Structure formats: structure tokens, C-alpha cells
Chain A
Amino acid sequence: MFAPADKAQADETAQSLAIEEGKQLYSVGCATCHGTDGQGTTDGPSLVGVGAAAVDFQVATGRMPAQQPGAQVPKKKNIYSQAEIDQLAAYIASLGAGPSIPTEEQYGPEGADIAKGGELFRTNCAQCHNFTGKGGALTHGKFAPNLEGVSAKHIYEAMQTGPQNMPSFPDSTLTEQNKKDIIAYLDAVNGEDTVSRGGLELGGIGPVAEGLFGWIFGLGTLIAVAVWVAARTAKAKKS
């Protein structure tokens, strides 16, 4: 009869333990820039209210802790285990309410509409990440990264939380279903077994690379053939 209450009690204890562990990890890895209580300093923004999803994205992709300040913190090898990341996330989430880590059900492929995802991607994301998520340049050394090989969970979290200079797309303007559709679209056009029907993709970054290739190699080959057609033939006697 008291089992549920006991279970809730146990969950709460586990939760506060995780927060405690997370605080320890935070003091070592994050406090230098984000302040001792996540209130932020001149070197790093406040983490109050960013939510567990932001922590999971930033730490699991290796972006945080940052190696050095700069225009943009790039992704690198992650040195935390998922358990440690969850503890950090629990601590940050305890500072203020924010988006939680999405579940498989939210970002998984079931029930996703790839075509709709394509439309949504082109409306909301393609301006920076290019039509198939190959990424692109922004101002002053910043860039929108290539989305190839980024896990569905991290794409979901990025949309939800808006890491670094990327704007966020909260559920109120881009619904859960919309996000699921976008992730399915990316998997279809930029996934591991996506087949390039047109052959050589040239990075898939659009007309500049294609034009450059066409002008240099296409026209170059034609010029080489023209030179061969018109060249002097080998003579029997050298003159």
C-alpha cells in the first residue's frame, strides 16, 4: 500500500544525489566560466533555465567545457560518460526550469513525415545549414555546422535550446511533430546510407562548388581535347 510513496521517496533521493554529484562535476568543469552557481560571468552565459537538454547537447557533443574562447566553440571528443552528463544536467535543471532531455519517442523515426520535414527544414533551417544540412558560413568566423552524423537526439536538443548563436525553435513555434519530421528528413538526405543519385556530390554545398568544378574540369577537358585536335602531328623528320 505504501509502495508508490516509497518509490517516489527513492526517486527523490536518487534525484537529489544526482544533483549533488552534478554540482561536484560542475564545480570542476564549468564553474570557471559560468560562475559557481551557474549565474554566469563575463566569460560565459548564465545557465539558469537553459535546461537539461542544453547540457546534454553541449557536453555530449564535446562543445562544453570549451577549450578556448573564440567566435564559436566547435565540437570535439566528449570526455564525460552519459551518467556524468545526466548528473550535470540534473544539477543545471535544478537551477531553473528548462527543456528536458528528449526521449526516443520524441525524436525517433516512427510517425515522421519526411516530405513535410523537408518543407520545414527549408523554411526554418536551410538558410544556414544548406538544403541538405551540409552547413555553411556565418559572420566573423562563425559557421553553421554540417549535420551529417549528428545523432537525432542532439539535433532535437539543438532545435529546442538554440546552442551558441543558433536561434532556438521551441515547441510553441516548431511543434514536437515538426521536429520529428525534420530529423527524419535529415536522415533521408544526409544520413549514413543516403544514396547520391546524381553521382559526385562535390560536398553538396550548392552552385558555387558545382560551377567551379564545371568551369575548371568540364571546360578544361574540352580545351585539352581541342588542343589535341588542332595540334601538329608528329613528323617523320624533325624540323
Chain B
Amino acid sequence: MSSQDIPEENLPAAQATAHGELADEKHPFADPGLPPHEHRIQDVDERAAKRSERSVALMFTVSMLATIGFIASYVAIDHDKSVFVFPLGHINALNFALGLTLGVALFCIGAGAVHWARTLMSDVEVADERHPIEASPEVRAKVHADFKQGAKESVIGRRKLIRNTMLGAVALVPLSGVVLLRDLGPLPEDKLRHTLWSKGKLLVNMNTNEPLRPSDVAVGSLTFAKPEGLEEHDHAFQNEIAKAALMIVRIQPDDIKDKRELEWSHEGIVAYSKICTHVGCPISLYEQQTHHVLCPCHQSTFDLSDGARVIFGPAGHALPQLRIGVNDEGYLEALGDFEEPVGPAFWERG
């Protein structure tokens, strides 16, 4: 093996002189140079090198087999077939076979290449001196001369009209970018303060799409409602339900501690915004015995029997309550919009 013989010009120049010599004024620290090169087992033992060669070839061969396995599984395995694989459980056979074979095929190419580089390719340390970044004086002089000649030939100094209009054109182009900044707006204005709820809107059950009657809502039950007229296929459905989503629970009137809550309820049926006042996650992890509602995102907890005040977690204010009543036909209806903005606080909320 000749790869470990270091060519003379690749040895660091300092190595010969720096060792053991006192540093001069210009170079106060001696250059220790490269440590002596150590041979690997494969460099000195041809049999070990042969073994490494065989390992690398084996990995590449496994990769080839895996690729053939990939194609074979794609052809042979039915896409509905499931297998039990410990510890994964019942999984789709085709997905598993394709993933496994392709993974092995790719990994073995990489692993083979790395093993090859580590054991057989030359690992002799090579020092490559830096060279100055600036160009030589001749090259620089030539570039200057070329530029001057180009400027002269373009007649930009003489044809003032071209020069001025060009400057104008280049200066105006960035304006188009400035105009696009308008798309950062318009400001939401009062969109965050209002929802679809308004006086007389019926509370529609999300499950059945039918308006709710007080008798439908049992004590201890949980129901989700949307405002009458909002349909799931509406273009604005997601935007509107994100603010108007409502959870309806019924609490024994004696158990309601907050006076305003009782006043805004109908015989213990209370309607609260489903949007957490922390960062706006939908919350409805309602515990019917404690009347607590938990937000799954950051564990804010609200007490629905006490004005939905925050009893734990990062939420800043209580869930807004919707004032409800019953219309002439006996259906639950809203008696107005939420008094305060629903969802998380924002800069201008006040």
C-alpha cells in the first residue's frame, strides 16, 4: 500500500523547523504541525483490508436485494392485507414491507460508503495552505481598464437623457413592493368584537341541525350549538363558528353561584363561548359534577357554575356568557351578542 506515503510538498512547512525551536518575534507561538500519521489495521494487514472490502460489498449487495424486495412486495402484497408484527401490532402489510425494504436499501448504500471511506480510502492527513483572497495587481488593473472602457463605450456620460431616465426607472421599481405592503391590512376593525349571535337568533343543535328547546337540555348534559342560519357548507362557516361556537349545559339553579350567570340563563340552562380566552383553543372538557371546563392546550380551568371564572391556568379572563331566553314558540334564543369579545385577548381589547 502506497497511500500512506506522504508526498513531501504536502507536509506542513513549519513542522521541520518549529519543533523545539524558540519562537521568533513575528511568530510568538511555535506551530506544532500535524501529529504523526498512524496506520489503520487495513493499511498494514492485507487480510483485514480484504475483510473490509467484503463487508462493504455485502452491504451494497443487501441494498440490491432490498430494492428487489421492494419491487417484489409492491407487486405481490395486496394493499388490504394486514399482519401482526411485534411490537407494532396489527399493521398494513404493504406499507410495512415497502418502508422496511426501501429503508434497508437506502441505509445500506450509505453505511457501505461510510465503511468504505473509514477503512479503505486513504486517511492520510493533508494540509492545504490558504491563499490570499485578493486578486493579483495585474488582474485588478485589467478589470479597472475594462470597466472604464465599457463605461466610455456605453456613452452613459454623454447621453444624459438615457442616464436620467434609467435612474428614474430603477428608483421607481421598489415602489411596487411598497404598495404590496397594503396587503398586510386592512385592520380587523370590530370583527373581533362581534359574532353571528344577535337578538332572536335560535340556538341550533350541532348534532341534529334542529333548534333546541329547554326540555331537550337535561341537567348534566352537554350540547354544542351554532347560530340559526349558519350552515356547514357556507363559505364563511369556519370563520364564523370559530367565534360563535357555543357550549350549553344545564346546572341546577341553586348550584349557580354567580348572580349574573343565573340571570342570563334560562332555568339553569347556560350558554358559554367554547373558545378559550387564553389562545383560542376549543374547550369543552366539561365535568358535569364539578362544573369545571378544562382547556386541553394549557390546562386553563373555568368554573361554569361561577360565571366561568378562571380557577386554574394561564387564561386571563372568564369565558364570555351568551344571554339566552325562550321565544314565543318555545325555542331557546339568544338575547343579543356576547357582551365582550370571545377568545384570546388582543392589543386593542381594553
Please report A residues at the B interface, Cβ cutoff 8 Å.
Answer: 120, 123-124, 127-128, 136, 138-139, 142, 144, 162, 164-170, 172-175, 178, 193-201, 228-229, 233-237, 239
Contacts and interface: CB of A to CB of B under 8 A. Distances in A.
A199 B82 CA distance: 10
Contacts of B118: 229, 233
Interface in B51-99: 82, 87-92, 95-96, 99
Contacts of A200: 87-89, 91
Given A196-B91, A199-B91, A167 B208 contact: no
A173 B40 contact: no
Contacts, number: 122
30 contacts: A123-B224, A124-B207, A124-B222, A127-B285, A127-B296, A128-B285, A138-B294, A139-B294, A164-B289, A165-B290, A167-B288, A168-B218, A168-B220, A168-B222, A170-B216, A170-B221, A172-B215, A173-B205, A195-B91, A198-B95, A199-B91, A199-B95, A200-B87, A200-B89, A229-B114, A233-B123, A234-B40, A234-B41, A236-B43, A237-B39
Given A197-B92, A229-B114, 19 more contacts: A124-B224, A127-B283, A127-B284, A136-B296, A138-B285, A139-B294, A139-B301, A139-B312, A164-B289, A168-B220, A169-B222, A173-B208, A173-B216, A173-B223, A175-B208, A193-B90, A233-B118, A233-B119, A235-B41
Given A127-B296, A162-B288, A195 B39 contact: no
Nearest to B96: A199
Chain B interface, DSSP helix/strand/loop, else mixed: mixed
Contacts of B221: 162, 167-170, 173
Contacts of A201: 89
B284 A196 contact: no
A194 B39 contact: no
B203 to A, nearest CB: 11
A172 B294 CA distance: 25
B96 A236 contact: no
A199 B283 contact: no
Contacts of B280: none
A222 B233 CA distance: 46
Interface of B: 38-41, 43-45, 82, 87-92, 95-96, 99, 114, 118-119, 123, 205-208, 212-213, 215-218, 220-224, 249, 282-290, 292, 294, 296, 299, 301, 312
A16 B246 CA distance: 45
Contacts of B212: 173
Contact of A139 (B90, B224, B287): B287
A173 B312 contact: no
Contacts of B217: 172-173
Contacts of B90: 193-196
Contacts of A174: 207-208
B288 A236 contact: no
A68 to B, nearest CB: 17
B129 to A, nearest CB: 24
Contacts of A228: 114
A123 B220 contact: no
A150 B337 CA distance: 42
A197 B93 CA distance: 9
A69 to B, nearest CB: 13
B225 to A, nearest CB: 9
A181 to B, nearest CB: 10
B218 A139 contact: no
B330 to A, nearest CB: 13
A174 B221 CA distance: 10
Contact of B41 (A139, A165, A167, A236): A236
A130 to B, nearest CB: 9
Contact of B218 (A170, A195, A233): A170
Nearest to B221: A168
B208 A178 contact: yes
A228 B218 CA distance: 64
Contact of A142 (B39, B213, B222, B287): B287
B95 to A, nearest CB: 6
Contacts of A173: 205, 207-208, 212, 216-217, 221, 223
Nearest to A174: B207
A70 to B, nearest CB: 13
Contact of B39 (A127, A139, A172, A235): A235
